[in-house]
Amino acid sequence: MKYQELINELESYGAPDPQAEAQAIICQLFDITPARLLLERNRDFESAQLENLLLRRKEREPLQYILGKWGFFGREFFVTPACLIPRPDTELLVEKALEVIKPKDKVADFCTGSGCIGITLSLEVGIEVDLVDISSDALLVAEKNAAHLGARCSLINSDIRSLPRDKKYDLIVSNPPYIPTGDIDALSPEVKKEPVLALDGGENGLDLVNFLITDGLSYLNDGGTMLIEFGYDQGEIIDTSLAKIQKDGKISSYKIYKDYGGNHRLVLIKK
């Protein structure tokens, strides 16, 4: 099967970005670089492993789970159906965190999943990061990623709403579940194979986001920063809530950022 034929095959399955998937498949299965693939685009790529992969992909199993790893911020992370798949838009959260983080900060990644956010910060800055998740299965993936990449991380298996109140951080980053419960059934077949615990944010999608910007602020030291990713259509609601919270004197400032697609996606809060 040639590269273009693989692209066409994936497109027929309904893959959202068949060219990117075809490149990832060939580069991983046949151990070649993207640059080399361009030179060998007319080569016949055949293997039993490729045939098995396509059978699974035809059933709309996410490619990331089939391959077992995926790129995030220039590194490869192990991924399994126990954790959310790392996405490019979440790299914005890391970029903004790196703008404010200090070498001696105490940092936590709430709802860590694969650990891609917290582990990236640990490696980029050379600090220890607490990785917190309610799912013990997700934390096993985060632990594997931290060990594989050499990051200094502590694992905490807990609902973020149940952490000891004496836990205090200078920086909290979080990509919590934020999809409204009623929207779950309408998601793509691939996304519906991701853990519902990492997707379902309650009736309006904001159960954990609302906790973070209210009671969750107690986990921040004075002068600390919180960065939260949220849904593309939730910016206005969050802006209204935070304006009131700031007026009440519970935070000093906040700023909402757009993602690479131009949608409001991230809020930075200063306590």
pLDDT tens per residue across span 175-202: 999 999 999 999 999 999 999 999 999 9
pLDDT given at position 192: 96
Statement: residue 112 has pLDDT above 90? yes
pTM of the model: 0.94
Between the alpha carbon of residue 199 and those of residues 195, 269, 270, the distances in Å are 7, 23, 26
CA distance 36 to 39: 5
Banded model confidence at residue 271, pLDDT cuts 50, 70, 90: very high
When computed from its CA atoms, the radius of gyration of the chain, rounded to whole angstroms, is 20
111: left (phi over 0), alpha (psi -120 to 50) or beta: left
Kindly indicate the confidence band of residue 107, based on its pLDDT and cuts at 50, 70 and 90: very high
CATH class of the domain whose range is 82-270:
alpha beta
Phi, psi (degrees; rounded to nearest 5) at 64: -60, -40
Instruction: Report the pLDDT value the prediction gives residue 14, as an integer from 0 to 100.
Output: 92
The pair of structure tokens assigned to 197 is 């615990």
- Is a pLDDT exceeding 90 seen at residue 85? yes
- Judged by DSSP in three states, 200 sits in strand
Confidence (pLDDT) at 166: 87
* Chain segment 114-129, per-residue pLDDT in tens: 999 999 999 999 999 9
Q: How far apart are CA 186 and CA 169, in angstroms?
A: 37
For the chain, which residues make up each domain, given as ranges?
3-59, 82-270
The mean pLDDT of the chain is: 96
Q: What is the pLDDT, as a whole number, of residue 249?
A: 95
Average pLDDT over residues 4-20: 95
DSSP code of residue 33: -
126-146 mean pLDDT = 98
Can you tell me the distance from the alpha carbon of 57 to that of 234, in angstroms, rounded to the nearest whole number? 32
> 3-class DSSP state for residue 23?
helix
Residue 151, pLDDT score = 98
For 10, 22, 43, the CA distances from 38, given in Å and listed in that order, are 18, 12, 10
165: pLDDT strictly greater than 90: no
CA–CA separation, 4 and 20 (whole Å): 12
For residue 37, give the nearest of 51, 47, 48, 22 by alpha carbon: 22
Reply yes or no on whether the pLDDT at 57 is more than 90.
yes
Closest to 155 (Cα-Cα) out of 201, 178, 122: 122
Res. 260: pLDDT tops 90: no
Q: What percent of the chain is predicted at pLDDT more than 70?
A: 100
